C-alpha cells in the first residue's frame, strides 16, 4: 500500500472517530442516552416520572414529554415564540418561560395558556415557581432577567403583580433559579461568575468560594440527599458540585458539549440536557465503592487527566477490595 493511501486511510479513520459522540462520565461511570430531542433546553420531572424538555429550533418552540424510563419524546404543549429559558413543574401544571411570557400547561389535558407577561424590554433568563411559599405566596413565580429577580404574584384570574426582589449588577445575567431548604439560589453567568444565595429581602451572598476558574455557569440543580448543588458550565462542558453550606466547586462530570439544564430523579440519578448533541443523558448514581479511594481492606486507584484550562479531574476510580 502506498504512503499516500495509508495517509488517506488514517485521515478518514481519524475523521470518523471524531464524529463519534463519547458518553459523558460521572465519577467513573458513563452516562446513557435517556432520550433524543432536537436542541433540548430546560428539563424537569413531574411526580409521575414524566420528563419535560423545552426545545427551540429556528423559533419552533415546543415542550416535549418523555415517558418514565426514557425513550421517544412526544411534542406536548406550546410556549412563547422564542428562547425557552425556564421550566418548572408545580402541582398539576408545567410552567415554561419564553422571552417575555410565562405559559402554563395542564399535565392531564395538555391545554396551554399564557400565564403572565413579564416585560417587553428585558427578556427572561430563568424562572422558578415558589411551591412552598418560602418567599411569598405559594405559587408565586420568580423570574430572572438582566440584573433583576422579580416576584410575580397572582392576585386573581387576570391580575398579576410584579415586585422586584433584586436589582444588582452582581447578577448581570442570572441563570438557574432554584429553591433549596427554604432559600432561593441562582447562578451569575456573565460578570460575578458563580453561585449566589438570594435572601428574602434581596440580599446576595456568594456560596462558592470564588476559587474556581469558571467559563460560563449556566445550569443549576439541587440534590437534597447530598445537600449540594450541581452546576453545569457551558464553556467547560463539565458539571461541578458545590455544598450548600459553601466551599470550592469540585468537577464531578465531564465530556458534555452544551449543558443547558440539569435535574435529578427521586433515586438520585442525574439528567443532563446536552443541547448541541440533541441528547438528554442519564448519569447513574455513583456506587459508594467507586468514590472511596481507601477503606478497610480496600485499595483505591485514582487516575488523573487534564481537562481544558489545565485543571485536574478524576477520570477513573477503581476499588480492588474483595467485597466490592
- pLDDT beyond 70 at 153: yes
- pLDDT beyond 50 at 233: yes
Return d(Cα 123, Cα 99) in angstroms, integer. 5
Task: Give the mean model confidence (pLDDT) for residues 112-139.
Answer: 84
Q: Does residue 173 sit in the same domain as residue 203?
A: yes
Q: Does residue 294 sit in the same domain as residue 319?
A: yes
What pLDDT score does 142 carry?
A: 94
CB 154 within 8 A of CB 169: no
Condensed to tens digits (0 to 9), the pLDDT of residues 30-73 reads: 899 999 998 898 999 999 999 999 876 655 678 899 999 999 89
- pLDDT beyond 50 at 15: no
Residue 4 lies in a domain: no
- From first CA to last CA, the distance across the chain in angstroms is 49
β-sheet bridge partners, residue 153: 161
Return d(Cα 119, Cα 64) in angstroms, integer. 26
322 Rama sector, left if φ>0, alpha if ψ -120 to 50, beta otherwise:
alpha
What pLDDT score does 13 carry?
A: 45
β-sheet bridge partners, residue 26: 29, 253
CB 215 within 8 A of CB 236: yes
Report the CATH number that the domain containing residue 70 is assigned in CATH: 2.120.10.30
3-state secondary structure the chain: CCHHHHHHHHHHHHHHHHHCCCCCEECCEECEEEEECCCEEEEEECCCCCEEEEEEECCEEEEEEECCCCCCCEECCCCCCCCCCEEEEECCEEEEECCCEEEEEECCCCCEEEEEECCCCCCCCEEEEECCCCCCCCCEEEEEECCEEEEEEECCCCCEEEEEEEECHHHCCEEEEEEECCEEEEEECCCCCEEEEECCCCCEEECECCCCCCCCEEEEEEECCCCEEEEEECCCCEEEEEECCCECCEEEEECCCCEEEEEECCCCCEEEEEHHHCEEEEECCCCHHHHCCEECCEEEEEEEEECHHHCEEEEEEEECCCCC
Residue 106 lies in a domain: yes
Q: Does residue 185 sit in the same domain as residue 218?
A: yes
Task: Give the largest CA-CA distance in the chain.
Answer: 79
Q: Does residue 73 sit in the same domain as residue 188?
A: yes
Task: Give the mean model confidence (pLDDT) for residues 253-270.
Answer: 93
- pLDDT beyond 50 at 91: yes
More confident residue, 156 or 309: 156
C-alpha Rg value of the chain to the nearest Å: 21
Q: Does residue 199 sit in the same domain as residue 295?
A: no
Residue 123 lies in a domain: yes
Residue 37 lies in a domain: yes
> What is the pTM for the complete model shown?
0.82
What pLDDT score does 271 carry?
A: 97
* Residue 12 pLDDT grade (very low, low, confident, very high; cuts 50, 70, 90): very low
- In the chain, the number of structural domains is 2
What pLDDT score does 68 carry?
A: 96
Mean per-residue pLDDT over the chain, rounded? 80
What pLDDT score does 76 carry?
A: 86
| Residue 213 C-beta-side C-alpha neighbours within 13 Å | 7
Q: Does residue 93 sit in the same domain as residue 159?
A: yes
What pLDDT score does 8 carry?
A: 47
Return d(Cα 192, Cα 173) in angstroms, integer. 9
What does the angle CA 303 – CA 306 – CA 311 come to, to the nearest 5 degrees?
115
Residue 19 lies in a domain: no
What pLDDT score does 119 carry?
A: 63
Lowest mean pLDDT among 57-61, 135-139, 276-280: 57-61
What pLDDT score does 110 carry?
A: 83
State the residue range of the domain holding 245: 25-286
What pLDDT score does 293 carry?
A: 39
Lowest mean pLDDT among 82-86, 162-166, 264-268, 277-281: 82-86
Q: Does residue 61 sit in the same domain as residue 142?
A: yes
Q: Does residue 268 sit in the same domain as residue 303?
A: no
* Residue 96 pLDDT grade (very low, low, confident, very high; cuts 50, 70, 90): confident
Q: Does residue 53 sit in the same domain as residue 97?
A: yes
Q: Does residue 316 sit in the same domain as residue 269?
A: no
Percent of the chain with pLDDT over 90: 51
* Residue 162 pLDDT grade (very low, low, confident, very high; cuts 50, 70, 90): confident
Residue 30 lies in a domain: yes
Residue 260 lies in a domain: yes
- pLDDT beyond 50 at 16: no
Residue 149 lies in a domain: yes
More confident residue, 159 or 63: 63
More confident residue, 154 or 305: 154
* Residue 130 pLDDT grade (very low, low, confident, very high; cuts 50, 70, 90): very high
Q: Does residue 255 sit in the same domain as residue 294?
A: no
More confident residue, 290 or 108: 108
Q: Does residue 65 sit in the same domain as residue 162?
A: yes
Percent of the chain with pLDDT over 70: 74
Cα distances (angstroms) measured from residue 10 to each of 6, 13, 22: 6, 5, 20
Amino acid at each position: 500500500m502506498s504512503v499516500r493511501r495509508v495517509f488517506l486511510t488514517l485521515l478518514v479513520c481519524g475523521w470518523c472517530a471524531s464524529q463519534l459522540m463519547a458518553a459523558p462520565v460521572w465519577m467513573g461511570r458513563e452516562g446513557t442516552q435517556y432520550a433524543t430531542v432536537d436542541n433540548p433546553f430546560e428539563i424537569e420531572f413531574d411526580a409521575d416520572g414524566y420528563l419535560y424538555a423545552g426545545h427551540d429550533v429556528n423559533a419552533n418552540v415546543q415542550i416535549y414529554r418523555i415517558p418514565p424510563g426514557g425513550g421517544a419524546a412526544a411534542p406536548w404543549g406550546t410556549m412563547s415564540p422564542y428562547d425557552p429559558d425556564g421550566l418548572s413543574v408545580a402541582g398539576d401544571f408545567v410552567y415554561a418561560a419564553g422571552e417575555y411570557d410565562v405559559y402554563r400547561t395542564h399535565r392531564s389535558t395538555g391545554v396551554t395558556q399564557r400565564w403572565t407577561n413579564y416585560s417587553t424590554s428585558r427578556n427572561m433568563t430563568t424562572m422558578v415557581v415558589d411551591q412552598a411559599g418560602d418567599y411569598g405566596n405559594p405559587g408565586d413565580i420568580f423570574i430572572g432577567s438582566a440584573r433583576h429577580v422579580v416576584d410575580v404574584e397572582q392576585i386573581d384570574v387576570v391580575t398579576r403583580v410584579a415586585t422586584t426582589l433584586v436589582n444588582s449588577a452582581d447578577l448581570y445575567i442570572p441563570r438557574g433559579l432554584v429553591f433549596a431548604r427554604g432559600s432561593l439560589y441562582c447562578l451569575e453567568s456573565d460578570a460575578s461568575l458563580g453561585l449566589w444565595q438570594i435572601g428574602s429581602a434581596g440580599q446576595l451572598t456568594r456560596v462558592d468560594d470564588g476559587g474556581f476558574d469558571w467559563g460560563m455557569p449556566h445550569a443549576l440543580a439541587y440534590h437534597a440527599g447530598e445537600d449540594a448543588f450541581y452546576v453545569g458550565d457551558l464553556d467547560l462542558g463539565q458539571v461541578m458540585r458545590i455544598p450548600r453550606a459553601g466551599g470550592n466547586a469540585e468537577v464531578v462530570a465531564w465530556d458534555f458539549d452544551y449543558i443547558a439544564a440539569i435535574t435529578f430523579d427521586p433515586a438520585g440519578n442525574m439528567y443532563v440536557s446536552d443541547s448541541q448533541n440533541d441528547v438528554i443523558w442519564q448519569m447513574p448514581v455513583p456506587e459508594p465503592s467507586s468514590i472511596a479511594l481507601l477503606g478497610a481492606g480496600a485499595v483505591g486507584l485514582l487516575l488523573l487527566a487534564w481537562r481544558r484550562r489545565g485543571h485536574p479531574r478524576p477520570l477513573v476510580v477503581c476499588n480492588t477490595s474483595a467485597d466490592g
